[in-house]
Amino acid sequence: MMQEHTLRKLRLLAPVIMIAGAGIAQAQPDESERMVHPPVDLTARDKSWDGGEKITLTWKLAEGDPDNVSFYRVYRSLTVAPLHVRELHDAVSDLHDDFEELDIPRDQLQQCIENVLQLMDVQGIDDHADLYEYTRELRHARLSMERWIQATSPTNAETARIQIIRDLDKLDDAIPTYEAQREDDDSETSAEKIAMMAVTEPVLQEIFGDDWKEDWEERIEEIPQDVRFQLLEDRDQAEEQAEAQVARDVAALGNQRRYKSIEDVKPEEWELHRGKMSYEVEKLDRREKYWFKVTAVYVEEMQDVGEGAIPREYESEPAMTVAGVQPARQWFDGVRFPLSLYVLIVCGAVMIYIQIARSGKILKVRTIAGLEAVDEAVGRATEMGRPIMFICGIQDMNDIQTIAGLTVLSRVAKTAAEYDAKIEVPTSRSLVMTAARETVQAAYLEAGRPDAYNEDLIYYVTDEQFGFVAYLQGTMAREKPAACFYMGTFFAESLILAETGNSIGAIQVAGTAMPAQLPFFVAACDYTLIGEEFFAASAYLSGAPEQMGSLKGQDIGKMVVGIMVIIGVAVATLASVTGSVHLNEAVEFIRETMLR
Amino acid sequence: MKRTIPLFLTAIGGFVLIIAYYIPHTQGWGEVAAIWFDILAAIAFLLGGGNLMKIHLKKISDHKAGWAYSVITIIAFLATLTAGLGKVFSPPSMQYPDMAWSGSYREIGSAFWWLFEYAFKPLTATMFSMLAFYVASAAFRAFRAKNFEAILLLGTAFIILLGRTAAANWVTGWLPESWAGLKLENVTVTIMQVFNTAGNRAIMIGIALGVAATSLKVLLGVDRSYLGGGKG
Amino acid sequence: MKKETLIWTIVMLLGAVVLVLNATLRQHGPAGSAYVEAVPQRFVDVSDPGEIEPYWISYDSEEALDYEICAQPFADIPAEKREDWIRYDQATLGKYLEEEAINPARNPYQFSLSRTIGIWIAAFFTLFIFSFLYKDNPFYKIAESCVVGVTAAYWMVVGFWDVIVPNLLGKLFPEWVKLWAIPGLEEPPNYWYAVPLVLGILLLMRLSPKGAWISRWPLAFVIGTTAGMRLTGFLHADFLSQIRNTVIPVIVFDPTNGSFDWWASLSNIIIVVGVLSALVYFFFSIEHKGVVGKTAKLGIWFLMVTFGAAFGYTVMGRIALFAIRLEFLFDDWLWLIDPIQRRVPIEEVALLWSSLSAGFI
């Protein structure tokens, strides 16, 4: 069977591919007119208290740093394919992060990247179709990013641009490694393929002329049968010969380790003082052993920069690790230790204050205008004999905002039950419908009006964002609710809803934690609960003392933030003014350890 | 019993995942929970779809005002459902041409694809594009800004809008290089990078605290409105 | 008839007449027509007689050269060893005309009735939705009813084929799913997935009047796991990273020459003051009076500038969306721009659609 045949051969070919790669990685210009000293004492050790994906490298700076060294280049040994897939995954998710952090509206890229990630998660890019899909998506992503870069003013947003360009490179880096691997696997470039084409090409050329490459596939039936059989035979022979050649080459070269460069790093000011620096290699696979090399690189400064000129690099001999290091996984993720402290502080504060409130101490909170308006809105709906419309966002129950929206619904429904106003809850998710029914039913029961509860007023419309909005827009225009509540996660539809509500003269109260949608609610609604206020709403509306306690707990959290920021800024400023090594180390510690 | 078990399930589910977050061996549990949720949500479609059918069939049988539109909804719903679940006109996949069900349900040329391309897409995209009008009307209304805050919002919006279009050059292009910082496109960048960053950070920090407190209340059973009424 | 209604009726009628004229008087057939390219798909099973699993390859591929069975004309291959159908790819009138001029007898491009109807339906749907801008009307109601029905079913179908089949059935009964839906599936069963199945069945107990209370269990589980995940997730991602980014020096020196960088310093001061004052605004337990009140006021101003910036930033994107719809109407449907559609259905439009359809703006 053909498949097996190919597989067997591929196994034979693998070392050749490795060697070819090694050749590329080590091909450095050999014109060493300038001598760069190598770094010394390179050590690699597993990072403790992690999930088994990091190794810390430490080395002494090369002689002549910083005058003679521009940066250090870190290499690590290559492993097998699955890791490439993971790198790819990481590259794309980094990119994703960039776009979140830079306050760029989530347009352009989001979908492309989601698609890529989904593809890789689901499929692990195992076959051609996926690879094709994946590269296509990536091309799209790239296109949008380039457009984005062009669109931002060229003189500014420099950091953003640099970061994105770096990510573009990362993506590019990831594709060729993986693609090379694929191509090898498909014997596209292998000896086998070459042998095959050496035999078939002339025949095809003879039959179809010089343009054979264009249309031989369509005209394959024109090849006489006997010629085809002859071709098959010849090819088998050629393949056998190629295999033998490969085996000979492998024997001659021995088994070498192949490296790839992962990062160029520059020592910080204080590391220069210390004469020693370290670097953390990330995204490793704990099932693999790794070897590392570090070289010192000097880049010649270019005087007169011509078009397309590349600055000349001088790379030192490498410092290498002798033994392979395997990252290990511990039972506690040390990086997340500070996080666990914050969780304890915030949760502890909330719990303590809830307890204090339960013991009978009255905790005061300030007024929030939007929440005062809830009773007014429900009252007005009753007076006018028109319904209340309540929308818990367009996300499902796995979004905390939906849950927060439901807690607000519970209070609003209770008030509505007391006033005997009709409350309508269209939902865009089936589970939310279920949960909203439970919530409203409980609220009616609590208000002592279980008989007035009508399940049919809480109903599912469609999961599709704009289908849901089309329905709401039409329904609002027809039923003219007197009050509209938007409490939950909203995307672009926020403005359609708020403007439609405005046009029918409804009192509108919105609450969301989507920063991008807040402006539209603020502009078009009567009251908007901004971010944290939205989460505080249910506590306020319930008026229960224990709920007030939780608000007080949240304030403690904010105080912690204030203190952290003030201390951090003070230390960072002192470090900037004095340039002290210790203070800089302290800033590094605050940012990278305490706030990671 | 009717309320204790759900409260217990909530607390267990939540606290297990919180702890799992710190243990490298179990850090993947969150993802598994997410997949389980997707499955549950997909099963819940039966409830949502059933409800949709029920409401519209009732409207039709009661001959309520506009019942004819309910007929359209039901036809559209059932047609799409049949086309998609039955993979109507979907060719098999290329690797398994002999297996009729192996192809993708949204293969180009299938009935489901047709419905997506010529009904789903134009309808939702047009709905989305109506935002162009709503954004204009919202801005127009905000022009009658009543207080300082509203003026601030609108003024900033106006500067950013101008700064991102060719108009920027037209308005402040005459400024000399030494005043470059006042050119609209640069003002836009400053606002985005300095003011917008500061505001967004405070909002995000607040949100994180709000989420934490809300989650905690849910896990501790302080907030349990979703559990419905009834004794127990 | 009211005056307003009369005017609108006339406008509508005129529009219809123009439409009919535009559609019929064109040189190359009616506007809004769709063209496709017929691409034959031919596959051959090249597995050896003794093998259980068939191995299919494309008859028209390079790989086919390797097999003797493909050396004969497609029609001569035994029926059980071959499969074929025709795939219709999107094409343009331009392509059709080009080919028609060269080789009318073997033109792979052809007129597609179903897709032409599709374009016209899509165009009318577009107009129906826009008609709401005037006021609510029967046309909008038709479009609304359709969009609800189609989209609700659409996501259910997606849920079935993308979630239920691979992630539930495929995990629990891989052998069975392999037989009909996912032929390549090679995974041992994972019985952990019985948990969501049981939860799902409990959820469906709602449908019986007695079992409603049981359906709260899966809901409780979902809410619990959501709360657990978000609690740590938000504190980690938003809380810590935002504080970290705010730890910045408020006196900055230029790294190149060591001089005082007043612009960077000022920016940093504004950021720190902005973050802190806006946080003060969110304090719940202190009334906004005195110093706190003033600080909170400053915080509100910061928030308003933030909102204004986001508002202004999105406006252009919205107008672009509208432009895309107009392009569809005038180009794909009415053929007023680029009449014989020489343009290739460009990737970029598809891209724009895919990113916009996410709605994450």
pLDDT of residue C56: 87
The yes-or-no verdict on residue A195 having pLDDT over 60 is no
Q: Is 60 exceeded by the pLDDT of residue A516? A: yes
More confident residue, C41 or A245: C41
Q: Are B123 and A466 inside 8 Å of each other by CB? A: yes
Q: Judge if A47 and A113 occupy the same domain.
A: no
CA atoms within 13 A on the CB side of C118: 23
* ipTM score assigned to the predicted complex: 0.93
Residues of chain B with pLDDT under 50: 230-232
- Integer Cα distance of A460 and A396 in angstroms: 12
Per-residue pLDDT, averaged over A24-41, amounts to 63
Checking if the pLDDT of A309 tops 70, the result is no
Residues C90 and C26 in one domain: no
- The number of residues in chain A equals 596
What are the tens digits of pLDDT across the range C224-240? 999 999 999 899 888 99
Cis peptide preceding A154, ω within 30 of 0: no
Structure confidence at residue A426 (pLDDT):
97
Chains contacting A with at least 3 CB pairs below 8 Å? B, C
Query: Is the domain of A506 the same as that of A532?
Result: yes
Please, what's the b/e burial string for C158-192 (b: 16 or more CB within 10 A of its CB; e: otherwise)? bbbbbbbbbbbbbbbebeebbeebbbebeeeeeee
Chain C interface includes B88 (CB < 8 A): no
Chain C contact for A532, CB < 8 A?
yes
Please, which pLDDT band fits residue A150 given cuts at 50, 70 and 90? low
Q: CA–CA separation, B209 vs B226, rounded Å?
A: 21
**Residue A338 domain-assigned (yes or no):** no
Cα separation of B8 and A360, whole Å? 27
Query: Which residues 6+ apart lie within 8 Å of A337 measured at CB?
Result: A49, B22
Residue A256: its pLDDT value, please?
Answer: 53
The DSSP string of C120-150 is HHHHHHHHHHHGGGT---HHHHHHHHHHHHH
Strand partners, C90: C36
Is the pLDDT confidence value at A569 over 90? yes
C71 shares a domain with C39: yes
**Distance (Å) of CA A130 to CA A126, A196, B107, B113, C183:** 7, 26, 15, 20, 16
Q: Distance between alpha carbon A32 and the CA centroid of its chain, in Å? A: 42
Residue A103 in any domain: the answer is: yes
Which one of A160, A186, A212 terminates a domain?
A186
Q: What is the span of the domain harbouring residue A145?
A: 81-186
**Residues in chain B closer than 8 A to C201 (CB atoms):** 43
Contact A384, A397 (CB under 8 A): no
Q: Which of A12-26, B56-70, C74-88 has the highest mean pLDDT?
A: B56-70
Range scoring the smallest mean pLDDT among A113-122, A393-402, C19-28, C257-266: A113-122
Question: What does DSSP say about strands A388-391 and A483-487: parallel, antiparallel, or unpaired?
Answer: parallel
- Which is higher by pLDDT, A37 or A158? A37
pLDDT at A302: 64
Q: What are phi and psi of A508, to 5 degrees?
A: -120, 130
Tokens representing B107?
Answer: 């293969």
Report the neighbours of C using a cutoff of 3 or more CB pairs below 8 angstroms.
A, B
pLDDT band at A570 (very low <50, low <70, confident <90, very high): very high
B134 CA: distance to closest CA in chain A (Å): 6
Q: What pLDDT is attached to residue C351?
A: 47
- Measured between CB atoms, which of C47, C144, C279 is closest to A561? C279
Helix (H) or strand (E) holding C97: helix C93-102
Q: Is residue A273 part of a domain?
A: yes
Would you say residue A250 lies in a domain? yes
Q: What is the pLDDT of residues A339-364, one digit of tens each?
A: 999 999 999 999 999 999 888 888 88
Q: Report the C-alpha gap between B77 and C145 in whole angstroms.
A: 9
**Highest averaged pLDDT of the listed ranges C81-85, C198-202, C326-330:** C198-202
Give the 3-state secondary structure percentages of chain B, helix then strand then coil, rounded to 5.
75, 0, 25
Structure tokens at A395: 């996300």
Q: A530: which chain C residues are within 8 Å (Cβ-Cβ)? A: 303
A572 part of a folded domain? no
* Strands A313-315, A292-299: pairing kind: antiparallel
> Of A162-176, A495-509, C167-181, where does mean pLDDT reach its minimum?
A162-176
pLDDT at residue A122 in the model: 46
Domain that holds residue C62: 35-112
Q: What percent of chain A clears pLDDT 90, i.e. is strictly above it? A: 35
State which H helix or E strand residue C44 sits in: strand C34-45
pTM metric for this prediction: 0.78
Residue A579 lies in a domain: no
Is residue C122 domain-resident? no
CA distance B75 to C5: 31
Q: Could you tell me if C167 and B38 are in contact, meaning their C-beta atoms sit under 8 angstroms apart? A: yes
Considering the domain architecture, whether residues C17 and C61 belong to the same structural domain is answered as: no
CA angle B213, C360, C358 (to 5 degrees): 125
Contacts of A3 in chain C (CB under 8 A): 55
Residue type, C58: S
Which residues of chain A from 439 to 478 reach within 8 Å of chain C, CB to CB? Answer: 460-467, 470-471, 473-474, 477-478
Cα→Cα distances A542→A495, B11, B226, Å: 29, 22, 14
Q: How sure is the predictor about A129, in pLDDT bands with cuts at 50, 70 and 90? A: very low
Asked if C9 has any chain B CB less than 8 Å from its own CB, the reply is no
pLDDT range class, residue A255, cuts 50, 70, 90: very low
Q: Residue A4 has what pLDDT?
A: 41
Q: Do A452 and A527 reside in the same domain of the chain?
A: yes
Task: Inform me whether the pLDDT recorded for A204 exceeds 80.
Answer: no
User: Chain A, 193-252: which have a CB under 8 Å from a chain C CB?
Assistant: 200, 217-218, 220-221, 223, 225, 228-229, 231-232
- Round to whole Å and give the CA distance between B132 and A500: 14
List the structure tokens of A437.
Answer: 């029914």
Q: Cα separation of A70 and A296, whole Å?
A: 8
Residue C237: Cβ-neighbour burial (10 angstroms; 0-12, 13-18, 19+): middle
Selecting from A221, A471, A566 the residue whose C-beta is nearest the C-beta of C144 gives: A471
For residue C285, give both structure tokens.
């337990």
Q: C235 to chain A: which residues are within 8 Å by CB?
A: 339, 342-343, 346
Please return the burial class of C272, using the count of CB atoms within 10 Å of its CB with bins 0-12, 13-18 and 19+.
buried
Residues A8 and A69 in one domain: no
Q: Which residues of C touch A107 (CB under 8 A)?
A: 317, 355-356, 360-361
- On whether both C14 and C76 belong to a single domain, the answer is no
Question: Which one has a higher pLDDT value, C144 or A62?
Answer: C144
Name chain B contacts of A399, Cβ cutoff 8 Å.
none
Give the torsion sign (CA, A185, A191, A196, A198).
positive
Residue among A481, A517, A522 nearest A370 (CA):
A522
pLDDT band at C61 (very low <50, low <70, confident <90, very high): confident
| A522 and A411 in a common domain | yes
Q: Does A155 touch chain C (CB under 8 A)?
A: no
Residue B116 structure tokens: 């997506």
Which residue, A508, A532, A547, sits at the end of a domain?
A: A547
C19 lies in the same domain as C88: no
Token pair of C71, please? 């050396």
Residue A47 and residue A93 in one domain:
no
Q: Which strand (E) or helix (H) includes residue A227?
A: helix A225-253
Three state DSSP letters for A54-100: CEEEEEECCCCCCCCCCEEEEEEECCCHHHHHHHHHHHHHHHHHHHH
Tell me: pLDDT of A438 over 50: yes
Residue from the list C62, C67, C354 with its beta carbon closest to the beta carbon of A217: C62
Q: SS3 of A584, please? A: helix
A120-129, A252-261, B108-117, C252-261: segment of lowest average pLDDT: A120-129
Q: Which of A134-138, A464-468, C179-183 shows the lowest mean pLDDT across its residues?
A: A134-138
The residue of B15, B54, B161, B207 whose CB has the most chain A CBs within 10 angstroms, and thus the best one to mutate to test that interface, is: B207
Mean pLDDT of chain A: 76
Per-residue model confidence as pLDDT tens digits over A482-493 = 999 999 999 889
- The enclosing domain of A62 has a CATH number of 2.60.40.10
Q: Nearest by CB to B200, which of A446, A466, A515?
A: A515
In the prediction, which pLDDT does B212 show?
A: 94
CA distance C296 to C288: 7
For the residues of A514-551, what is the DSSP string, one character each? -TTTHHHHHHHSSEEEETHHHHHHHHHHH--HHHHHHH
Q: What is the pLDDT of residues A63-110, one digit of tens each?
A: 877 788 889 999 887 654 444 455 555 666 666 565 555 444 444 455
Which C residues 237-266 touch B at CB under 8 Å? 237-239, 242-243, 245-246, 263
SS3 A596: coil
CB < 8 Å from A in window 221-260 of C? 222-223, 225-227, 230-232, 234-236, 239-241, 243-253
* Domain count across chain C: 3
The residue from C112, C137, C158 where one domain ends is C112
Q: Which residue of B has its CA nearest to C123?
A: B122
C134 interface with A at CB cutoff 8 Å: no
In this structure, how many other beta carbons lie within 10 angstroms of the beta carbon of residue C234?
23
Cβ-Cβ contacts under 8 Å, B157 against chain A = 519
pLDDT of residue A28: 43
To test the contact with chain C by mutation, choose from B7, B104, B123, B209 the residue with the greatest count of C C-beta atoms within 10 A, namely B123
Which chain B residue's Cα is nearest to A495? B134
Strands A483-487 vs A292-299: parallel, antiparallel or unpaired: unpaired
Q: Which residues of A touch C246 (CB under 8 A)?
A: 565, 568-569
Residue of A nearest to C238 (CA): A101
Residues A393-412: what's their mean pLDDT? 93
Lowest mean pLDDT among B130-144, C99-113, C285-299: B130-144
Whether residue C60 lies inside any domain: the answer is: yes
The terminus-to-terminus CA distance of chain A in angstroms comes to 54
pLDDT digits (tens, 9 = 90+) for B74-90: 999 999 999 999 999 98
Of residues A275, A273, A322, the one with CA closest to residue A60: A275
Number of domains in chain A: 4
CB-based contact A544:A236 (threshold 8 Å):
no
